[in-house]
């Protein structure tokens, strides 16, 4: 491995055997008896999940073998922040677990230069019976730090975590948010050469997430290497100079972060401006379920491409299963780099502070013409209830739609026919005074 490469991966693959659930006995006595009667067969079944024949062609393998990763190759230079994006089940978390040694690879080689600090799951490496103070030293030791090194950083770690009042409380009494605060503080402040972060940051509140993102930004500026897995696409484009896109355990794209995020959002599953769900698959809970989302023109049609001059309607159909909740339907519109253009909340006076009866609802919000610029956009649909606040469904990037320029002398363009930068294209009111 050359001196300027922090992480080198060659031919990395990981496979698992998918188990089948045995028929359960109807009482404890029969279950124990079955285990005693078949010790050898039970042992063979257990071993079968971890033993494989030599690696062969995919078509020669049994159907219960899953390749979580397949022939992964990449280098990460020292000081680079690399994002890893992909849909759920693409292999992102498996890749990080293999890189950190939590699980061994099936084939391939991994070379990492320097000390590695990772945060893959809430409270990884914490002992639940020990206090927060004791776990800071325990976790630091596991990361290869000497006690004096941990002591020098201790005050900074605790200040960042914001859990001073609970420092001498056993970690088992911490909330998931408190655990992730402390875990990230330890992982980020013990000056590792390579920092590996999974989606676990989503557990923290918004303020703490900003602190974490700023800390990772600082780490990269100090020359540390960062591998970052997240569904927070704006964070990926902000922090990362490079990203890889995983699909079914394989790297299908490797390039600039903005380019890779755009490619991910252009996924074929989001090519239409209409999405609907069956009763069994509908996102939501007993309070509210999403039935469909679509983007419509002023005629109620659902084209994929909209004229920049005309209003665009965002339509959501949903079912309310329980009466008596103050519901707040809202939308988020993202551009093709994962940046949130705006969030729109339902503000109709007749629904403000009012509870809703069970039944079927349709709501439409209109984006004025000449507001968004030309390009590709994505619509997420969300339903929450107030007093107390609770999310009931969230359909991220449920549909996609395109806005195209119109080069006629109209709208915000005037007589200009060249390229216009920016994702917002407002038609502003201008005032000009002239004197001869």
Write out pLDDT tens, residues 361-389: 999 999 998 899 888 898 999 998 887 77
- Please tell me the pTM assigned to this model: 0.62
Predicted pLDDT of residue 55 = 47
Ranges under pLDDT 50 in the chain? 22, 46, 50, 54-59, 268-271
Asked if residue 388 has a cis previous peptide bond (ω within 30° of 0), the answer is yes
Which residues, including other chains, have CB under 8 Å from residue 293's CB and lie 6 or more apart? 274, 275, 276, 314, 315, 316, 317, 379, 381, 395, 398, 399
Strand partners, 226: 81, 195
Write out pLDDT tens, residues 1-43: 555 899 999 999 998 877 555 455 555 666 666 666 566 555 5
Spatial CA neighbour of 271 closest among 363, 397, 369, 393: 397
3-state SS assignment for residue 218: helix
Write out pLDDT tens, residues 263-306: 887 664 444 678 899 888 899 889 999 999 999 999 999 887 89
Report CA 39 to chain centroid distance, whole Å. 43
| 8 A C-beta contact, residue 338 and residue 310 | no
Which pair of tokens denotes residue 67? 């390749």
- Angle of helix 176-189 relative to helix 206-221, nearest 10 degrees, comes to 10
Phi (first) and psi of residue 427, to 5 degrees: -95, 100
Which pair of tokens denotes residue 368? 């004025």
Instruction: Find tokens 């970052």 and name the residue.
Output: 228
Predicted pLDDT of residue 295 = 94
How many Å apart are CA 331 and CA 326, to the nearest integer? 17
């Amino acid at each position: 491995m050359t001196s300027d490469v922090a992480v080198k991966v060659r031919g990395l693959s990981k496979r698992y055997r998918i188990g089948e659930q045995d028929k359960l006995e109807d009482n404890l006595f029969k279950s124990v008896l079955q285990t005693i009667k078949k010790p050898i067969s039970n042992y063979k079944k257990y071993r079968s999940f971890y033993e494989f024949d030599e690696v062969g062609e995919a078509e020669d393998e049994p159907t219960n073998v899953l390749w979580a990763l397949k022939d992964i190759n990449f280098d990460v230079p020292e000081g680079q922040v690399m994002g890893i994006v992909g849909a759920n089940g693409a292999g992102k978390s498996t890749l990080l677990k293999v890189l950190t040694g939590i699980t061994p690879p099936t084939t391939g080689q991994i070379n990492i230069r320097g000390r590695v600090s990772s945060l893959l799951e809430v409270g990884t490496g914490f002992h639940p019976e020990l206090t927060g103070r004791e776990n800071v030293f325990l976790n630091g030791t596991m990361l290869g730090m000497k006690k004096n090194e941990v002591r020098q950083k201790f005050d900074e770690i605790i200040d960042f975590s914001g859990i001073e009042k609970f420092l001498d409380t056993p970690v088992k009494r911490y909330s998931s948010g408190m655990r992730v605060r402390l875990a990230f503080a330890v992982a980020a402040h013990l000056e590792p050469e390579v920092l590996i972060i999974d989606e676990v940051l989503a557990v923290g509140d918004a303020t703490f997430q900003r602190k974490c993102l700023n800390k990772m930004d600082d780490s990269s500026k100090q020359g540390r290497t960062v591998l970052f897995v997240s569904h927070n696409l704006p964070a990926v484009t902000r922090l990362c100079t490079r990203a890889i896109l995983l699909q079914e355990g394989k790297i299908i794209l490797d390039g600039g972060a903005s380019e890779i995020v755009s490619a991910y959002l252009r996924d074929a599953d989001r090519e239409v401006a209409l999405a609907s769900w069956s009763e069994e698959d509908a996102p939501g809970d007993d309070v509210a379920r999403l039935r469909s989302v679509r983007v419509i023109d002023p005629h109620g049609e659902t084209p994929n491409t909209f004229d920049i001059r005309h209003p665009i309607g965002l339509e959501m159909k949903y079912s309310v299963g329980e009466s008596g909740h103050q519901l707040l339907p809202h939308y988020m519109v993202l551009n093709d780099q994962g940046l949130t253009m705006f969030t729109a909340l339902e503000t109709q006076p007749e629904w403000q502070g009012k509870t809703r009866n069970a039944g079927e609802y349709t709501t439409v919000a209109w984006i004025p013409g000449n507001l968004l610029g030309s390009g590709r956009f994505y619509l997420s649909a969300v339903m929450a209830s107030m007093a107390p606040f609770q999310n009931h469904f969230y359909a991220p990037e449920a549909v996609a739609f395109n806005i195209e320029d119109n080069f006629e002398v109209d709208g915000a363009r005037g007589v200009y026919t060249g390229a216009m930068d920016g994702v917002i294209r407002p038609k502003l009111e201008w005032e000009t005074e002239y004197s001869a």
